Amino acid sequence: MTARVGIVVFPGSNCELDCERSFERLGASTEFVWHDDNTLPDVDIVVLPGGFAHGDYLRTGALARFSPIMHSVAEHAAAGKLLIGICNGFQVLCEAGLLPGALRKNEGLKFLCKWTELRVEVPGTPFTARAERGQLLRIPINHFEGNWYADPDTVARMRANHQIVLRYVKNPNGSLDGVAGISNERGNVLGLMPHPERACESLLGSEDGAVIIGSMLDHVMHMQPSPAGV
């Protein structure tokens, strides 16, 4: 059995081909899901890839959350299945209310494409099972709006609930608490600004992205109980 991955393509998405390549490289089978469809195919994992869905006009992710497929994506998450939003996908998940907080423009008011080091703060999640606590991952960022923010109560609750899964070792964009990746309360939805799909091959500079993608595939393959039961 291979893990089945659905990669949602919005008009303006641009990392879908890279996600396809890296998920398949690690053993998954993938298919693209058009944003205008009403239902997801039978998949174990849904990926909202990076890019500029609907041109990022109005506000990043603000239009994409209204795409027809998003109902089905929310149901997929509600069923406890894995959902990951990478970069623009993270922004869409925040706008859709599937993850807390919001992503503002980078502190330096510049787009940033660079390698960053991330620290795994919460191992043992479906997204970090292959990592140890404190392990450093070298994965690049590529965004203008990656400066995550939430109100203090939300942040306190998230800390207590181990939802701040990945932090930057050196904060590149002013993100609150150095947040690079967060999960929902149940732990089956992850949003992260860095691009793990860009770091799955030593020829391109790092294989650390495979820790995150591989963990997800392991999780599906081991048919573990829903994360709510972990």
Partner 1 sequence: MSETESLHRDLGLTDDEFQAICDRLGREPGYTELAMFSVMWSEHCSYKSSRVHLETLPTEGERILVGPGEGAGIIEVADGVAVAWKIESHNHPSFVEPFNGAATGVGGIVRDILSMGARPIALMDPLRFGPLEDARTRYLVDGVVHGISSYGNSIGVPTVGGETVFEECYAANPLVNVACLGVVDTKLMHGRAEVPGQVAILFGSSTGRDGIGGASVLASAEFDEDSLDKRPSVQVGDPFSEKLLIECSLELIRRELVASFQDLGAGGISCPTSEMTAKGGTGIRIDLDNVHRREPSMEPFEVMISESQERMLAVVESEDVEDVLGVCAKWGLEARVLGEITKTGRVEVVDRKTVVADVPSLALAEEGPVYERPIERPHWMAGINAAPAGDEAPEHYGRTFYEMVASPQIASKRWVWEQYDHMIFLGTVIGPGGDAAVIRLPGTETAVAITTDGPGRLCMLDPYEGARHAVAEAARNVAAVGARPAAITNCLNFGSPEGSGVMWQFSEVVRGIGDACRDLGTPVTGGNVSFYNETNGRPIYPTPVIGMLGIVGDPAVAVGIGFRDEGDAIVLLGTTELDDFGGSEYGKIVNDAIGGTPPNLDMGAERALHEVLIAGADAGLFNSAHDLSGGGLAVALAECAFASNRGFSVQIGGTEPHRTLYSESPSRAVVSCGQGLVDDVLALAGRHGIAAEVIGAVAADMCDFSVFATSLEEARSVWEGGLSGHLSARVE
The contact set with partner 1 (CB under 8 A) reads 11-12, 14-15, 17-18, 21-22, 51-52, 54-57, 110-114, 140, 142, 144, 195, 197-198, 201, 203-204
Count Cα neighbours of 163 within 13 Å in the Cβ-side half-sphere.
Answer: 23
Exactly one of 15, 35, 54, 87 is catalytic; name it: 87
Q: Which C-beta is closer to partner 1: that of 57 or that of 66?
A: 57
Distance from chain centroid for Cα 147: 15
Dihedral sign, CA of 130, 133, 136, 139? positive
CB of 226 to partner 1, least distance (A): 32
CB of 111 to partner 1, least distance (A): 5
Exactly one of 76, 143, 195, 219 is catalytic; name it: 195
Helix (H, G, I), strand (E, B) or coil at 48: strand
Q: Which C-beta is closer to partner 1: that of 6 or that of 49?
A: 49
Closest CA to 88 of 202, 220, 192: 192
CB of 25 to partner 1, least distance (A): 9
Exactly one of 16, 20, 121, 197 is catalytic; name it: 197
The span from the first CA to the last CA of the chain, in angstroms, equals 23
- Taking 3-state DSSP, the helix, strand and coil percentages for the chain, each rounded to the nearest 5, stand at 30, 25, 45
Distance from chain centroid for Cα 106: 18
* 3-state DSSP of 75-108: HHHHCCCEEEEECHHHHHHHHCCCCCCEEECCCC
CB of 88 to partner 1, least distance (A): 10
Q: Which C-beta is closer to partner 1: that of 144 or that of 149?
A: 144
Q: Which C-beta is closer to partner 1: that of 110 or that of 170?
A: 110
195 is catalytic: yes
121 is catalytic: no
Annotated catalytic sites, by residue?
87, 195, 197
